[in-house]
Amino acid sequence: MNVLPWQTDAFTALQQRRQAGNLPHALLLTGPEGIGRRHFAEVLAASLLCLSPYADGSACGSCQACQLRQAGTHPDLLTLSPEESRVIRIDQIRGLTERLGLSRHHAAWRVVIIEPAEAMNVAAGNALLKTLEEPPPETLLILLASRPALLPATIRSRCQRLSLAMPPRDAALAWLREQGVEAAETLLDLAGGAPLTALALGQEALVRHGNLFRQWIDLADGRADPVKLAAEWIKPDAERPIQWIQAWVGDMIRLRQGARARQAETEGALQKLAGAIDLVRLHRLLDQVQEARRLLGSQVNEQTILEGILIYWANLPRQART
């Protein structure tokens, strides 16, 4: 199991700390979606659990511990995520605490992966604090969070934070092409620069993006119903359309300022729209979209969030032309 190319430096730094005997007991792993946070956590876990790691710290892949991990049955690798809801509950943390009280089985280390950490409710977070304050020896807790600000300060302060950055475009494109991805540049643009998201999107995303963009133009010209479109766009997810809207609005702002659009295939249509809309209103729309992305995954209804954006956009061009 290899670390992704753009995460090599972060992995090497942790291995150096491991060799020096000062690996943290709790790691808050943050960064944008789609760059491989979970993959990095799993590679690190594999390294710590492996009985015969290579010189660079990576797992051998063939020892008994590696075979158990690959089969998903390693007793010293514990994972925690929401079960029947979007929330990690206190009983899950209590169960984790009980297991951490048992002796390790095969490895010198035990690893816990909690994802997404911000899904812990207040009671679960409070229950985890004792483990963070008094961690068992040779145990690493890895908390994965895309929105770490939602975690209580008491938890953040007891973890060492490692922020994984978006990879350089050239590195992301090279990796996607190694995976045999066609139209890698366009898919990477649709994924907001996140290579794992681009890989997961696939060619069907190109069709969906084209359909949604045409409907976005129809909304601007008063030929579509924003409420009806919101109900359609939310299937299969609301996050991707809102991300694409953010890219379209961002490109319109860039075009108004004399720069080029990031997505060449939509530049012409967005150029015409951008010229008819006040720049201040475009910035207000961008603020609304960014706030919508922040609210995704919260208790706010996602269809309502999307409706608000589309209604604002449907009225905005007509307001600007009067």
pLDDT digits (tens, 9 = 90+) for 249-280: 999 999 999 898 888 788 899 998 888 888 89
pLDDT digits (tens, 9 = 90+) for 197-237: 999 888 888 899 999 999 999 999 899 999 999 999 998 88
Mean model confidence pLDDT for the chain? 91
Distance linking the first and last C-alpha atoms of the chain: 59
Domains of the chain: 5-163 (3.40.50.300), 203-321 (1.20.272)
pLDDT of residue 107: 66
Instruction: Please state the pTM of the whole predicted model.
Output: 0.81
pLDDT of residue 321: 43
Sign of the Cα torsion 172, 175, 181, 182 reads positive
Q: Give alpha helix (H) positions in 139-274.
A: 153-156, 169-178, 184-190, 195-201, 204-220, 226-233, 239-256, 267-274
pLDDT digits (tens, 9 = 90+) for 130-189: 999 988 889 999 999 988 998 999 999 999 999 999 999 999 999 999 999 988 998 998
Judged on CB neighbours under 10 Å (0-12, 13-18, 19+), 22 is exposed
**Rounded to an integer, what distance in angstroms lies between the CA atom of residue 151 and that of residue 145?**
9
Q: Cα separations (Å) of 222 from 20, 198, 252, 270? A: 64, 32, 19, 16
**pLDDT confidence bin for 43, thresholds 50/70/90:** very high
Q: Which residues of 145-169 are buried (b: 16+ CB within 10 A; e: fewer)?
A: bbebebbeeebbebbeebebeebee
**Rounded to an integer, what distance in angstroms lies between the CA atom of residue 312 and that of residue 188?**
28
Judged on CB neighbours under 10 Å (0-12, 13-18, 19+), 101 is exposed
Which is nearest to 276 in space by CA: 256, 246, 259?
256
Q: Which residues of 244-265 are buried (b: 16+ CB within 10 A; e: fewer)?
A: bbbbbbbbbbbbbeeeebebee
**pLDDT confidence bin for 317, thresholds 50/70/90:** low
**Rounded to an integer, what distance in angstroms lies between the CA atom of residue 270 and that of residue 265?**
10
Judged on CB neighbours under 10 Å (0-12, 13-18, 19+), 235 is exposed
Q: Are 25 and 141 in contact (CB under 8 A)?
A: yes
pLDDT of residue 294: 82
Would the pLDDT of 297 be above 70?
no
